[in-house]
Amino acid sequence: MSRINRELHPLELVTVVAGLMSLTALAIDVMLPALPAMGADLGVSTENDRQLVIVAFVLGMGSGQLVFGPLSDRFGRRRVLVISLLLYTLFAVACAVPGSFEQLVLFRALQGVTAAGARVVALSLVRDLFEGASMARTMSWVMATFMAVPILAPNLGWLILQVSTWRAIFWALVVFGAVLLVWVGARLPETLSPERRRSIHPRALMEAYLEVVKNPTSRAYTIATGLAFGALFAFISSSEQIFRSFGHAERFPLYFAGVAGSMAVASMVNARLVGRLGMRRLSHGALTVFTGIQVVYCALYLSGVHDFAVFYTALALSFFVFSLIGANFNAMALQPLGHVAGTASAALGFASTTLSGSIGGFVARQYNGTPLPVALGFLCLGASSLAVVTLGTRAQSA
């Protein structure tokens, strides 16, 4: 049953929650076409170093979940959201006018921390205002809107570069953040009543975090999620370079949109299949297929098959099945921790995002002008993730 404020139209809420969640994806994907221009303007001599613009944001985003989740439970959603949006907008301004590449990387990390606040609070808003079927229906609309961002963002970045410089992309993020800030300040009521607020005593938080670590199922799926998402971040960080190596720099936004589109379709397929097959069977099977695709592609590449069509087909298939993994792994990691769901979600998000950002950044930096290092990274990460969930869940059931 909905507890939504009568003055707040559900469509308005869905739009803004999707916007808040989109802050992270937009701030990553819109940058991709601009990485060469950033590197050239700020004197970055090594191409792979440009990837730090993405990696720093992801690592900051992981850390921010530990901060803003408990704060919003203690002080309320609205106040924490206003602060996170204000800081996000200010750091976007700082990213638009850095004095050096090192400063840009630092500001991107801080921007990632604050973007995590908007994402965490957005999910909490939905939990506060809706229950049961209403919550599921609202989240379905939010995710449908959110999935458009990875498809459109690189094209938006490319269009901005046609009329201005890479700095204008950050100014666009400033405008987006400011619009959300004004809306939240003017329209959003507080959704967490005083009696439902929780203490953020360090001991209580530490006990909840330790419970996440000690639970074998949660531990296994959190590590596996971090490894699997490492493949996603490795591709995102090096995607512009890879497509340029095939001679498709101009069409990069369109090809990237195609990959994102395959993930969006898979998300809808997942919603239909998970009820029939169950989360464990579906996600483990998808991870096995993901790893198998990498074996086949690496074998073809090493045997001399370097065609772009083969690469792109393998890539699209890989991320189609990938979308059958992530959401299910997250859900299974949280299942045993319902009594500390909010804190557990923050801890799991921190652990998996930090792990995936670190490993994905390392894999992406192995790029050598060919897609092979990233493909081998996909293979190793897929196999490692599969081993972790197989051994971890087997030990739990033994």
| Joined tokens for residue 286 | 């998808």
Average pLDDT over residues 186-196: 77
- Residue 360's pLDDT is 92
CB 31 within 8 A of CB 156: no
Average pLDDT over residues 176-192: 87
Give residue-wise pLDDT tens across range 305-322: 999 999 999 999 999 999
- Residue owning tokens 């204000």: 86
- The tally of CA atoms less than 13 A away on the side-chain side of residue 243 is 22
Least confident of 2-6, 101-105, 320-324, 331-335: 2-6
201-398 has which fold?
A: Growth Hormone; Chain: A; (1.20.1250)
Q: Judge whether residue 187 has pLDDT over 50.
A: yes
Q: Judge whether residue 137 has pLDDT over 90.
A: no
Give residue-wise pLDDT tens across range 209-267: 777 788 888 889 889 999 999 998 899 999 999 999 999 988 899 999 999 888 888 88
Least confident of 72-76, 78-82, 172-176, 376-380: 72-76
Q: Judge whether residue 398 has pLDDT over 60.
A: no
pLDDT band with cut points at 50, 70 and 90 for residue 2 = very low
1-200 has which fold?
A: Growth Hormone; Chain: A; (1.20.1250)
In the chain, where the domains are located: 1-200, 201-398
pLDDT band with cut points at 50, 70 and 90 for residue 132 = low
| Joined tokens for residue 293 | 């695709």
User: Matching CATH topology for 1-200 and 201-398?
Assistant: yes
The burial of 8, by beta-carbon neighbours within 10 Å (0-12 exposed, 13-18 middle, 19 or more buried), is given as middle
Separation in Å, CA 140 to CA 134, 145, 262, 267, 331: 10, 9, 17, 10, 16
- Residue 7's pLDDT is 59
